[in-house]
Amino acid sequence: MDLGLDGRVAVVTGASKGIGLAITRALVAEGVRVFAGARESSEQLDELAEQGSVQPVLVDLSTAAGPAELVAVALKGGGVDILVNNVGQVSPRLNGFLMVTDDQWLHSINLNLMAAVRTTRAALPAMLAAGRGVIVTTSSVNAFLPDPGVIDYSAAKGALTNFCKALSKEVGPSGIRVNTVSPGPVATDLWLGTSGVAEEVGRASGRTPETVAQEAADMSVTGRFTRPDEVAALVVMLASDRATGNVTGSDFVVDGGLTTET
């Protein structure tokens, strides 16, 4: 199916690895020019850049100015038709709520919520002027499945999903669609890499990272983690007016049946 995205311009945050890299790759495959925001590039992102449809923009999206810097580069390079708020981070809190510091709370809220708020604030005026635009944000099942082991992350993602729903009601009449995608565990370095969730939980509990990961996978009906490209395919579909032109204010769960209600 031709999604009608050829020639569009997108901004993707957290684009150098994991889900963000997969989204960038999937958008490029549909003919989209991508401004890929990340604090550091990666070999895979550089390879995409060499093909000519991706421009890495190295900014710190956790700062107040970073998101606007990213969007400014995109606006100079052709505008912003699609915004994918993907940047985020999770750190397991294995010693209980009382041991989570203010700095840890603020870091999680800043990167998982405020980076999306700031990037959206920078991109929205151009979309409003054009009378169209799409914003897709990577949230998490933890937005509605609170977990004490990631208590600050869960709270930030809950706020993120709420923000996107509220915004969809404001900007929908102006031709701008806003949706969220909420994955469960995804096979990325965030979960499976060095110092990822599986390794940190395993170290604290005396189990191997492989055991922790398998236990997490077994909680899903499908018995496996979601692949980054599966999340990316859904994001690209939501970016298409042809495929989902009247879909806004919705949250799409990609978790292999992990959650039974939302």
Radius of gyration of the chain measured on its C-alpha atoms: 18
Q: What CA–CA distances, in Å, run from 139 to 96, 112, 152?
A: 23, 8, 14
Q: Give the single-character DSSP code of 225.
A: P
Long-range contacts of 65-71 (CB under 8 A, 24+ apart): 66/37, 66/115, 66/118, 67/13, 67/37, 67/115, 67/118, 67/119, 67/121, 67/122, 68/118, 68/119, 68/121, 68/122, 70/11, 70/13, 70/35, 70/37, 70/119, 70/122, 71/11, 71/119, 71/122, 71/123
Q: What CA–CA distances, in Å, run from 76 to 16, 69, 79, 192, 195?
A: 21, 11, 7, 37, 37
Catalytic residue among 153, 163, 191, 225: 153
153 is catalytic: yes
Sign for the pseudo-dihedral over CA of 108, 112, 117, 120:
positive
Q: What residues are labeled active site?
A: 153
